[in-house]
Structure 1
C-alpha cells in the first residue's frame, strides 16, 4: 500500500523553514536514477493537492536517459502523463544547496488510485502487501558500498583514486576498517552525517572498505520495506552531492576497477508477527524453520533475479571467486562468503543478509526481489539444505547467469519473480534493458582497435 502526504506537512515545514525558495520533487526510475521537477516555493502546495504531472514513461528510461519505447510506452502511445504525489515524511531541506531549498520524494498513482505499474516503488509496495497479507511484517535495512574518485580521469578515461585530503597524495592504501582512512576523509563524512540528519536518513556507521577511496554506509532497520528502499535511494543522492561539494565524485558503479573490490548493495531482512516479535530465531536460538524456508526461496529465485541484482554489463564484472562476492546460491551462519548470510548477534536481532546485488542495482527492485524470494520459500516450505562452512565463494555455480544477456533471458523466462513483481513489469524491465544493451554495444571499444585493427 502506498500513501500520499497531507498538505499540512508542507505548511508546517515551510513555517519551520521560512528561507526555503524551492522544492524539488523527486522520483526514481527503473535504473534507480533520480528524476523530477523543481517548483518555486509559491507553487509547492500544488504538489500536495493536485500532484506532479510527468510522463509515465519516465520510469522506463535506460541508464543513459534515453527512451527506447519499450513495449510501446513512450513514442508509440503519445507519452501520457501520470500523477505523482509526495511520500509522507520525506519533505526535508537540501543541506548542500547554495540557495536554500527542499526536496520531497514522489510516488505515482494510476487512474484507480493504486500504484502506477511502471513505478519501481509501486512494484515493491505490491510485493510487500503480499507478504503482509500472510501475517508477516518485513523489517529491512539496506547497506551501500561506494567509491570516492578523482574528478580528473586517467588518459584512457578510466577513473582514478582520490587525492587524500590528509596527505595530498593519490590514495593507494587498502586498509579495510582502517581508522586513518576515516580520519583522512573526515570532513566529507561529517558533512554527509549532517546531510543525513537533516533529511531523516538513519545512516549510522561508516567503514573504509577493501580499496582506496571505498566506503560502506549502514542504514538502520525499519519496519517497512518501502521506507528502507526510500532511505537507500535518497542516501545515494546525498552521497553524490556531498562528495561533489568536497571536490570528489562518488560512484556506485559495481566494478570501477577489475583489480579492486566491487561495490555491493546488501539487504538485511527479518520478518516479525503483528506484535513485532522476530520470527527468524527458533526456540533454541538457532534459525527457525521460517528463516530456513525463506533462505530456500532466495536460493530458488537467485538465478531468475540476477538481471535485477546486476543491471548492466559492468555489474557482472563484480562476480569473481574469492572476493566476498556471491558466485553460488549458498547460505551460511556468519559466513561472508555466502550469498545469504545469517549474521551473528543476539537471537532477537536474527536476520538474513542478502549479499548478491551490486551497488548500481535499483533499491526498490532489489528489495522486491528479496521479499519475493523469501515469501516464495516460506509458502512452499523450501529446504535450503545445510549451511555452508568455510569458503563458499571459491567456484561459480554454472547454473547462474553471469552474463548480462543470459540474465535478461533468464528473467524473461522466469516463473516465480513475475508472480510477485508482475509479468508486465518484468517484460517492461527486460525490454528496457535489452534496448540499453543493444545501444551500449553499438559503440567500438578501445580493445577492438588493440586486438583487431
Structure 2
C-alpha cells in the first residue's frame, strides 16, 4: 500500500468518526508487549503519509521497558530513531477510552526505507518467506488462555465463580461449564463488542481447566502476520474489558502455583497456489499427506532450539510440569492433547496440526516464526518424524526439550535451524537480550529466599 493509500484510509476513518480527538499508535516489542503513546489526532497524519520518528529501541526493550546494554539501538550508540508507518487496515476505535480515541498498529522502517530487522513483524516475514518461495501459503488460527484476577487486599487470586446465593468462591476445576461464563457474562459481552468494533475475528470463548481461567479462539486467516496482529489486539482488548469490571487479566504462563498454566496454541494448515490443502491425502501413518509428516519431522527437530521463543521469560518455565497438558517432548499424533503436535479431527479441506508448546506470554510473531521455520525445514529436507503416538495412548511425562530458562537459551544459541529463518543477526540479538534479562532477574533476591533460608542457615 502506498503512502497515498494510507492517507486515504485515515481520511475515510476521520470522515466516519469526525469526533475522534486522540490516536494511540502501537508497536509490538520483542516481549510481545504493545508499546505506544497517545497523540492528538492532527499529529498522526505523518504515520499515514511520511512516517513518524520513533526510538528504534522500542522493539528491543526488556519486560520492564529498559534498554539493553551492548546491543544496537541503545545508549551505547546514541539511541537513534527509525521511521514508523501505520499498518494498513489496523486503524480502529478504542471504545473504552474516556474521550473519542482511535488506535493503529505501527511497523518500523529504517531511514533509508528498508525494513527494520528488529520489528517482530519483519522477523516473521523473513521466517515465512521460504514457504512462500515454495508456492505454499500458511493458514493459521491462534488460541489464547488467560486468567481473570482480583485482589482481596493481600493477594492476587483467580476470579472464581461464586456459589449461588453467596459471595463464596466455588472451589475446584469446572471445564466448559456454562455457569462460569454467565458469572463473567458482562465481561464477555464487552469483550465481544470490542472485538467487533476493532475487527478482531474471535470465535469460541470457554472456561478452562482452572477457576478464573478462560480461552478465546481466533478465526483462521491466510496471512501469518495478520494472525499475530489479531492475537496482540485480542490481548489488549481482554485487558481493557477486564479493567471495566474492576478485574485484571493476565497472560502469564503460570500465575498461580496450584492451578493450570496458560498456553498459546497455534493451528496451522498449508495451501498450494491453487488453494488445495497440501496436508490432506494418505500416508503410511494415516489420512494425511507425506507433506504433513515431513512438516511434523521438521517441527520436532526445531523444537529444542525454539523453546526460548515459546517460553521467553522466567515465569514461562513454571508452566512446564507433569499433568499440565504442557508437552516436554516433540511427540505427535491424532486427537491427543498430551502431545506437542496434535492432529485434530478434521476433514481433508481442513487438515491441520495444533502446536501446543508455547505459553500465552510468548510473542506470537516469534512463536509463528519458529513454527513456520520448522515446517519449511521438514518439508524441504523430507525429515521423517518419530513414531506417531496412537489416539488415546497413555503417555509418560518425558523431558526431551529444555524446561529451564538457561538451558533453553543454550539450545537456542547452539541451534542450526532458526538462524537461517530469523536471520543470524537477529538470532544473536535475541539471545543477548534474553540472557541479559535472565541475569538481571536472577540478581534480585526473592522473598522465598528469606522464607526458606534466613533462619534455617
Shared fold by TM > 0.5? yes
- 2:156 is aligned with 1:159: yes
Q: 3-state SS of the aligned residue for 1:6? A: helix
Q: 3-state SS of the aligned residue for 2:76? A: coil
> CA separation in 2, counterparts of 1:237 and 1:307?
23
Counterpart in the other structure of 1:337: 338
- The answer (yes or no) to whether the contact 1:401–1:410 under 8 Å persists in 2 is yes
- The answer (yes or no) to whether the contact 1:328–1:393 under 8 Å persists in 2 is no
Equivalences for residues 32-431 of structure 1 within 5 A: 32-152=32-152, 154=154, 158-162=155-159, 164=161, 168-283=167-282, 286-389=287-390, 390-391=392-393, 393-397=395-399, 399-431=400-432
Which sits farther off after the overlay, 161-170 or 431-440?
Answer: 161-170
Q: 3-state SS of the aligned residue for 2:249? A: strand
* Cα offset, 1:223, TM superposition: 0.6
> CA separation in 1, counterparts of 2:84 and 2:293?
39
> CA separation in 2, counterparts of 1:298 and 1:287?
16
* Cα offset, 1:334, TM superposition: 1.1
CA 1:43–1:111 in structure 2 vs 1: closer, same or farther (change >3 Å)?
Answer: closer
Q: 3-state SS of the aligned residue for 2:53? A: strand
* Cα offset, 1:345, TM superposition: 2.0
Deviation digits for residues 98-149 of structure 1 (CA, Å, limit 9, x no counterpart): 1110000111122443321111111001112221011000111111000000
Deviation digits for residues 147-194 of structure 1 (CA, Å, limit 9, x no counterpart): 00004463xxx5212264775333534110111101111000000000
Which sits farther off after the overlay, 439-448 or 279-288?
Answer: 279-288
Deviation digits for residues 325-345 of structure 1 (CA, Å, limit 9, x no counterpart): 111110011111110011002
- The answer (yes or no) to whether the contact 2:261–2:319 under 8 Å persists in 1 is yes
CA 1:111–1:129 in structure 2 vs 1: closer, same or farther (change >3 Å)?
Answer: farther
Deviation digits for residues 224-247 of structure 1 (CA, Å, limit 9, x no counterpart): 000000000110011011101111
* Cα offset, 1:71, TM superposition: 2.4
Which sits farther off after the overlay, 41-50 or 188-197?
Answer: 41-50
CA 1:331–1:45 in structure 2 vs 1: closer, same or farther (change >3 Å)?
Answer: same
Provide TM-score, normalisation by structure 1. Answer: 0.95
Counterpart in the other structure of 2:436: 435
> CA separation in 1, counterparts of 2:393 and 2:437?
35
Q: 3-state SS of the aligned residue for 1:25? A: strand
- The answer (yes or no) to whether the contact 2:141–2:227 under 8 Å persists in 1 is yes
Counterpart in the other structure of 1:24: 24
- The answer (yes or no) to whether the contact 2:295–2:379 under 8 Å persists in 1 is yes
- The answer (yes or no) to whether the contact 2:320–2:403 under 8 Å persists in 1 is yes
Q: 3-state SS of the aligned residue for 1:71? A: coil
> CA separation in 1, counterparts of 2:82 and 2:394?
46
* Cα offset, 1:442, TM superposition: 1.5
Q: Please provide the CA RMSD for this pair.
A: 1.7
Q: 3-state SS of the aligned residue for 2:75? A: coil
- The answer (yes or no) to whether the contact 2:207–2:215 under 8 Å persists in 1 is yes
CA 1:153–1:226 in structure 2 vs 1: closer, same or farther (change >3 Å)?
Answer: farther
* Cα offset, 1:44, TM superposition: 2.0
> CA separation in 2, counterparts of 1:451 and 1:164?
33
CA 1:391–1:64 in structure 2 vs 1: closer, same or farther (change >3 Å)?
Answer: farther
How many residues end up aligned between the 2 structures?
448
Structure 1 residues not aligned, in runs of 5+? none
Which sits farther off after the overlay, 308-317 or 440-449?
Answer: 440-449
Q: 3-state SS of the aligned residue for 1:451? A: helix
Structure 2 residues not aligned, in runs of 5+? none
Counterpart in the other structure of 2:12: 12
> CA separation in 2, counterparts of 1:357 and 1:301?
14
Counterpart in the other structure of 1:452: 453
